[in-house]
Amino acid sequence: MKSIKFLVVAFTFGLFLSNVVNAQVANNNQKELAEVKILTSAKCGDCKSKIETALTKQSGVESASLDLTSKVVTVKYDKNKTSESVLTSAVKDSGYTAEIFNGTTKKSDCGDGAKKSDCGTAKKSDCGGAK
């Protein structure tokens, strides 16, 4: 009797597992990739890696690449799993400013006159020309 009970439980669990696997396959098929550009207050390689790491840790983010010259981070993400506002919040939570960059936004005051304190929580030793 016990072994029949075990078989029923095992069979039910097997059905459950195959449903989970099927659901994951379906989710992958529904991936809807989008791209957003976010203007940040990054200044050095440290800022860059902190911001990229904060973004790639988010669920649904495929890639994040920050260009230090423009201070713009390009994020490729799955629309079904995350959103622009979640991504800008992730950048802000890591200690930097973040605004959606549409190509015409003025650069923030992260230029040559920027202060090291603008580097957020990053290590400041390698912040280049920042004072």
Please say which residue, 47 or 91, places its beta carbon nearer to Cu ion.
Answer: 47
Total of chain residues touching Cu ion, rule CB under 5 A: 7
**Which amino acid makes up residue 45?**
G
Task: State the nearest-atom distance from the C-beta of 120 to Cu ion, in Å.
Answer: 7
Rule CB under 5 A: is residue 110 a binding residue for Cu ion? no
Please say which residue, 46 or 52, places its beta carbon nearer to Cu ion.
Answer: 46
Choose one: 42-50, 52-60, 64-72, 73-81; the region binding Cu ion (CB under 5 A). Answer: 42-50
Q: What are the Cα distances from residue 39, in Å, to 1, 2, 29, 87, 88?
A: 66, 63, 31, 12, 9
Rule CB under 5 A: is residue 48 a binding residue for Cu ion? no
Rule CB under 5 A: is residue 71 a binding residue for Cu ion? no
Selected from 38, 43, 73, 75, the binder of Cu ion by CB under 5 A is 43
Question: Quick check: helix, strand or coil at residue 76?
Answer: strand
CB atoms within 10 A of CB 29: 7
Phi-psi label, residue 128: left if phi above 0, alpha if psi -120 to 50, beta otherwise: left
Phi, psi of 100 (to 5 degrees): -60, 130
Please say which residue, 73 or 77, places its beta carbon nearer to Cu ion.
Answer: 73
Please say which residue, 19 or 65, places its beta carbon nearer to Cu ion.
Answer: 65
State how far the Cα of 9 lies from the Cα of 23, in Å rounded to an integer: 21
Rule CB under 5 A: is residue 114 a binding residue for Cu ion? no
Q: Give me the residues that bind Cu ion (CB under 5 A), please.
A: 43-44, 46-47, 119, 122, 127
